[in-house]
Chain A
Amino acid sequence: MIFLPVVALILGFLLVYRFSIPSAWADYAAIAILAGFDALIGAVRARMEGQFDEAVFISGFFVNMALAILLAYIGDKLGVDLYLAVVVALGIRIFTNLGRIRGLFVRARMEARRARHAAMPH
């Protein structure tokens, strides 16, 4: 069921809403969130394509998050806005995956309609 993840998302949100982090970390948290969304949407797409793998998903979620933060951190230290590179790369990936998901939906609908037409006697 889809409820469990949604409930988990809301629960997580409400549990920590009273806390805050130093504003110096806010950029890194934003990057981490972006990486997390990327992993989640990638997982949805993989699931729809029947290629989902639990280990790949979980490792990808945490490792990508860490890498994104690391890249942003290195950029900070070097004085290069690698932060932006991470945002752009993840943003593009999220959009691509969302596009694929939409494509899968549309194709499924068309196939269903064709199947119905074929079944109907002329």
Chain B
Amino acid sequence: MRAFWEAGKGWTLPVAGVCLVLGALLGIQTHTQQLRGATEVGRRSSALVGMLTNSEAQLAAQAKEIEQLRAQLGKFEKEAMSDKGVTQRVYEEMQTDRVALGLLPVKGPGVELELGDSTMRRDGAEAGSQDIYLIHDYDLREVANELWAAGAEAVSLNNQRLVTGSAIRCSGPLIQVNNTTIPSPFVFHAIGNKDNFVSALNIRDGVLDRLRWVKFQVKLTPKDDVAVPAIAIAPKFRYAKPVTEETP
């Protein structure tokens, strides 16, 4: 056996040259892998953010399209109604139905009600459970119910029109209306008799009173011009069928 570590003509130099190349390859590869590992996490989350932005943009585009189609439909109906008479009455009837279904944005006198989480905080050992100082889905449901009971003709919560089938529910730490997540503060817009709303909501021991006890931020403003948007996706009726063909 010949000791390879001993120098020799035609041995040390070629090996050294090859080692230089090999070392360079190793260096560049190690560095590349290190950079790769560092950017992997960032790349993944930025990809997710990209997807989210994409789908949000898509959603916005589709909402716009729905709006356009509805406007188009309205124009067609107006054109068809040119011969007055029966079609005119049908059109008026359909407009009322659309308002009831939430397919048209509406405005009128009413109230704006803003609800924010309580200014009180638990501290010390109980700091982890703040839920009694947070607004919950059931608080919002109660308020919505009270608004309907006070004669609201159209109600929206954080710009989500409340219609037949609009559920207000909690999903984890967030609240969803019409399957759309809404953040605090929660703003109701209701169209109807202003005075009725104010007295119904402010009734002693009523829903707002209960929220004020624990220092929730309640701001009730009667307004002459309240706008309530249309619902993004119209309710579908797949199971319910009318019993008679006659319209009331």
Q: B-contacting residues of A (Cβ < 8 Å)?
A: 1-2, 4-21, 23, 26, 29-30, 32-33, 36-37, 39-40, 43-44, 47-50, 52, 54, 57-58, 61, 104-105, 107-108
Contact = CB atoms under 8 A, between A and B. Distances in A.
Contacts of B29: 21, 26, 29-30, 33
A26 B32 contact: yes
**Which 3 A-B pairs give the minimum distances between C-beta atoms?**
A12-B23, A13-B27, A12-B24
Nearest to B7: A1
B4 interface: yes
Main secondary structure of the interface of A (DSSP, over half): helix
Contact of A37 (B1, B15, B22, B36): B22
Given A12-B19, A21-B32, A33-B29, A57 B14 contact: yes
Interface residues of B, number: 33
Contact of A6 (B14, B17, B19, B26): B19
Interface of B: 1-7, 10-33, 35-36
B141 to A, nearest CB: 52
A4 B6 CA distance: 11
B36 A9 contact: no
Contacts of B5: 1-2
